[in-house]
Structure 1
Amino acid sequence: MKHFILMALLFCFSVGLQAETWNVDNQASQVNFISVKKRDAAEVHRFTQVEGRLSETGFELSIPLKSVQTNIEIRDQRMQSMLFEVAKFPELKLTAQIKSKMVDSMVIGQRQVLSVPAKISLHGFVQSMTIDVVIAKLSDQQVMATSLQPIIVSADGFGLGEGIEKLRQIASLSSISWAVPVTFVLVLNK
């Protein structure tokens, strides 16, 4: 009987030490990017769907590329088919080396700035980069992660140059920048 009680106590203790999973709240989160055309005409666009989780194994984020929103329907459709080629490459995936235990150990109201190694998979290519993130613990059940500064994504690093050129031609534009600033606000809940 003593052995059973000891095992039950050890099990309860080990369960309490395990980090919990945090899930991205799509409604409260946002990923934006800026396109620049004709040298100085900048526009902010976003993705309306983000999915992800932070666990003991790290952070994973998935963005369905069909959720791109530019506030111009024909441009959304062209970006989906000509740039992202969503039929072949339906999503962007990001993985980052950050563990849920770190977030669990923060106190409510605490804010941390981290440089996080990440991998981005997009359009059949994978790129590694370091992303500067601000993490704030809002409550025991909610954290927010935001980009400290815009992340500059280079289109040629993901094989998107041909798609940008197609968009430029069909819209009769003199230029579309291949360097794209990206920002994010992610809210995660337990």
Structure 2
Amino acid sequence: MMRLFPSLSALLLMFWPGFLLAQSPFENGWQLDQTASNITYMSIKKGHVAETNSFATVNGQISEDGTAVLTIALDSVDTKVDLRNVRMRFLFFETFLHPQAIVTTHLDAEVLSDLASLRRKEITLPFSLSLHGVKAELSAPVIVSLLSNDRINVATVKPIPILMKDFGFEPGRVKLEEAAGVTITPLAIVSLNLTFDRTTPGSAPALADPVVTASTAMETEGNFDRTACVGRFEILSRTGSINFAPAAAKLEASSTAMLDTLYDVVSRCPDLVIEIGGHTDSFGKAGPNLRLSERRANAVSEYLQGKGIPAERMNVAGYGETKPLVPNNTAQNRAKNRRIEFSVVN
């Protein structure tokens, strides 16, 4: 006898939208819900003190073919302490050179074809991480959860360990240790909890405008108070990113990004006069070193004047080899002593 009514499963197949009936589970693409997503990392200092920080601004999308791109604004690192944020930006992440971290991966539609029935599935996800000028191929187990036909969540099953040396962060770690006076374990542990919404049918997924929350550390506008200015100049003095040709006062092109960051800080401390101090190592004679240090400090002042900072807001001083940070007994130490320092005069 012919069956007059379809089975319950057939009815579900007829009316279940999106993931089950669409040609692809990524139909129309998916956009990251920034307010419902977070990326955190944990670091260890003093051998046993764990600190968990996050990033306030993250963008992401999944295209119709399953290609996923996640862009993390490293300037938005959020430690809940202003000057700690600044240290992380300038000394560790060097965001004036590497402003973003980018994660790319491909989600396999076939692997996720049963997500509509399972609702939650663990998969091992290979991905590329571009961070601090280094690109690495990694993988991690993640849980993909179908919250609704138009909303999914992707979360790490366990934190992802990132060795600092693999991404060139060892010099930055040392700078942080010296600035904060603590030891830092050369390992970070990263966790992701990402929620995506299906893009409006018929429109292609695109990166959304960054959501800037109250906790963001990006400082897109506004002047700093005196305490913030003093702290920033002290931190900028530690970057070691203003470089000159050997035995000369010609700024190297690699210094431009740092100098532009310096200009931004100086321009946002409009009531303060700063000192630009030049320092050398002890190689060579004291007299020429003194003159070289002053010429180098002048080169920085001239660059800032070219950007619009009035000359009367800057005092230039050359100290030569008279104020070493460390003994001039190794090439590494001599490099530390060759520096430009900034401080507030009044």
- Please give the alpha-carbon distance, in whole angstroms, between the structure 1 residues aligned to 2:195 and 2:110: 17
Q: Which residue of 1 aligns with 2:163?
A: 154
Residues in 1 aligned to 2:190 and 2:109: alpha-carbon distance in whole angstroms: 24
Q: Quick check: 54-63 or 79-88, which moved more?
A: 54-63
1:17 aligned residue (13, 18, 23): 23
Given that 1:54 and 1:100 are in contact with CA atoms closer than 8 Å, whether structure 2 keeps it comes out as: no
Partner amino acid, structure 2, of 1:91 = Q
Q: Which residue of 2 aligns with 1:36?
A: 44
| 1:179 pairs with 2:187 | yes
From 59, 62, 78, the equivalent of 1:69 is 78
Amino acid at match of 1:52: G
Q: Which amino acid aligns with 1:165?
A: V
Q: Structure 2 unaligned runs (5+)? A: 1-21, 199-346
- The CA RMSD measured in Å over matched residues stands at 1.7
Contact kept, 8 Å, 1:155 with 1:179, in 2: the verdict is yes
Say whether the 8 Å CA contact 1:109–1:139 is kept in structure 2. no
Structure 1 residue 117: Cα displacement:
0.8
Whether the aligned pair in 2 keeps the contact of 1:109 and 1:138 (CA below 8 Å) is no
Distance 1:103 1:21, change over 3 A: farther
Could you tell me how far apart the structure 2 residues matched to 1:27 and 1:41 are? 29
Between the aligned partners of 2:196 and 2:31, the Cα distance in structure 1 is: 5
- Indicate if the aligned counterparts of 1:151 and 1:182 stay in contact, CA closer than 8 A: yes
Distance 1:90 1:102 in 2: 34
Q: Deviations over 1:9-48 (max 9, x none)?
A: xxxxxxx635331111110000000011000000110011
In 1, Cα distance between the equivalents of 2:66 and 2:51?
36
Contact kept, 8 Å, 1:80 with 1:86, in 2: the verdict is yes
1:143 corresponds in structure 2 to 152
Q: Please report how far the alpha carbon of residue 157 of structure 1 lies from its aligned counterpart in structure 2 after TM superposition.
A: 0.6
Aligned CA distance change for structure 1 residues 97 and 129 (closer, same or farther; 3 Å) = same
C-alpha displacement of 1:97: 2.3
Correspondences of 1:86-165 after superposition (within 5 Å)? 86-99=95-108, 106-107=115-116, 110-165=119-174
In structure 2, the partner of 1:45 is 53
The aligned residue for residue 196 of structure 2 is 188
Task: Mark the CA change 1:99 to 1:58 in structure 2 (over 3 Å): closer, same or farther.
Answer: farther
Q: Using the alignment, how far apart are the partners of 2:173 and 2:81 within structure 1?
A: 17
The amino acid across from 1:168 in the alignment is: E
Closer/same/farther in 2, CA of residues 149 and 181 from structure 1, 3 Å limit: same
Larger radius of gyration: 2
| Partner Cα distance (1:81, 1:90) in 2 | 10
Rounded Cα–Cα distance in structure 2 between residues aligned with 1:168 and 1:59: 35
| Percent identity for Structure 1 against Structure 2 | 26
Q: Taking structure 2 as the reference length, what is the TM-score of the superposition?
A: 0.48
- Quick check: 1:79 aligned with 2:88? yes
The whole-number CA distance in structure 2 between the counterparts of 1:144 and 1:97 is 15
Q: Gaps spanning 5+ residues in structure 1: where?
A: 1-15
TM-superposed deviation, 1:49: 1.2
2:69 and 2:141 map into 1 onto residues whose CA distance is 16
Which amino acid letter does the alignment assign opposite residue 39 of structure 2? V
Higher relative contact order (CA 8 A, sep 6+): 1
* Letter of the 1:17 counterpart: Q
1:70-108 residue CA offsets vs partner (Å, 9 max, x unmatched): 111101011011111111100000111214676576317
What TM-score, normalized by structure 1, do the two folds share? 0.86
Tell me how far apart the structure 1 counterparts of residues 103 and 80 of structure 2 sit (CA, whole Å): 25
Work out the CA distance in 2 between the residues paired with 1:60 and 1:103: 18
